[in-house]
Amino acid sequence: MFYEIRTYRLKNGTIPQYLKVVEEEGIEIQKSHLGTLVGYFFSEIGTINEIVHIWAFASLDDREARRQRLLADPRWQAFLPKIRDLIEVAENKIMKPANFSPRSEAH
């Protein structure tokens, strides 16, 4: 299992706008292609204006195929401009759990 951890630093004050449009439109498009959403978070304490979402994939090939399908979806292409200008910095990590790491049955 591989976990993709996507971290976005948003423009100051835009978390409510970002979360609203993702909740109303974006997340269903993502879930229809990417599959297992582990969590979707926003900062309360610490680094401000930060969004973190984590997706689980069976393999790196699985991730690549799913991301390609997402990027090819016309609904996703229409959605991207609604969030693109809200994001100042994007970071992406691929993590693999240690053998002793707790994992839920769904992952």
Kindly give the residue spans of alpha helices, DSSP state H, lying in the chain.
15-21, 27-34, 60-72, 74-79, 81-84
Q: In this structure, what is the dihedral angle of CA atoms 3, 90, 86, 53, given to the nearest 10 degrees?
A: 10
Q: What is the pLDDT of residues 33-42, one digit of tens each?
A: 998 999 999 9
Handedness of CA 39, 42, 46, 50 (dihedral sign): positive
Domain segments of the chain: what residues?
Answer: 2-95
CATH class of the domain whose range is 2-95:
alpha beta
Computed over every residue of the chain, the mean pLDDT equals 92
pTM: 0.88
Distance between CA atoms of residues 49 and 63, nearest Å? 27
Cα 94 versus chain centre, distance: 12
**pLDDT tops 70 at residue 105:** no
